Amino acid sequence: MKIRDLFHTQAQTFSFEFFPPKTKEDAEELFVRVRELKLLGPSFVSVTYGAGGSTRQNTIDLVCRFESELNLVAMAHLTCVGHSRAELRDILHELKARGIENIMCLRGDPPRGQTSFVPAPDGFAHASELVMLARSVGDFCIGVAGYPETHPECPDKQLDLEHLKAKVECGADFITTQLFFDNRDYFDFCERAWRVGIRQRIIPGIMPITNYRQIVRFAQMCGAKIPAALHERLEPRADDAAAVLEIGVDWAWRQCEELLAGGAPGIHFYTMNRSLATQRIFAQLRESRVKTLLPADAASPAL
């Protein structure tokens, strides 16, 4: 099933993102965790793509397993990093042949050790080009990334929004945001996108904090800020894993509750291949009686 078809019946979707393990043992352990998360009833799941295609086959195999063995709607990530146009076309044909209908098209981050993105010989410099290629290969449902706080390589918000609009005009079906911790950034982003004519769903991406130092690194890499109030809670307890988890779950739950109440079309969880934090957030959302599936006509500019 294509993710865009879910939008006709689910005003709010809930999805989980995983990265492909490098060993068979780790892959089986992840499979157990995904089974646990399946009980929560996710709308779809996605699997990331390693730098330069380093986990390409694992990504494709996991997506196929999630669909065939767990009956989940699944999406494969694909990036431009390290691939020529011909190679990307071949990968897209492989995805199509394997029955994968959903693709997250990304430019990708520069490989480790490089400070800026350099396209591969005869490769693409922008995700919009990959979206266009995917559209020419098959009738995929295509997701793209959005940056509430602006892409770290972009000099200003308006130009970043123009890049997003280009991806939409090339054929993107929906947008998933980079992680953020201040909901005002998300709602402002949605309003600005609406004003320039973007009507595709903008699904907020939430990463429950389970490791303080790890999240600081991630935030720096993707240009996301950690609010002072959150920093003040986490910093004194940085080495206390249990306390960090409690704070991270509480913050993410409050984010999700406010986002859903404000009209966000769902939540995309960056799970970091862990299930506990996401399970607890769902439990707390239920307890607070936030409706996670609203009527299909409950649209708003955040969609």
Catalytic residue among 17, 67, 101, 129: 17
By CB neighbour count within 10 A (0-12 exposed, 13-18 middle, 19+ buried), where does 135 fall? Answer: middle
Query: Residue 296 gets which letter from DSSP?
Result: T
Our answer to whether residue 17 is catalytic in this structure is yes
Residue-wise burial string across 220-236, b where 16 or more C-beta atoms lie within 10 A, e elsewhere: eebbbebeeebeebbee
Report how far residue 102's alpha carbon sits from residue 75's, in angstroms, rounded to the nearest whole number.
5
Q: Buried b vs exposed e over 95-117: b needs ≥16 C-beta within 10 Å? A: bbeeebbbbbbbbbeeeeeeeee
Place of tokens 């970043």: 160
> Amino acid identity, residue 110?
P
Cβ(144)–Cβ(129) below 8 Å: no
- Category of 273 on φ-ψ map: left (φ > 0), alpha (ψ -120 to 50) or beta: left
Active site residues: 17
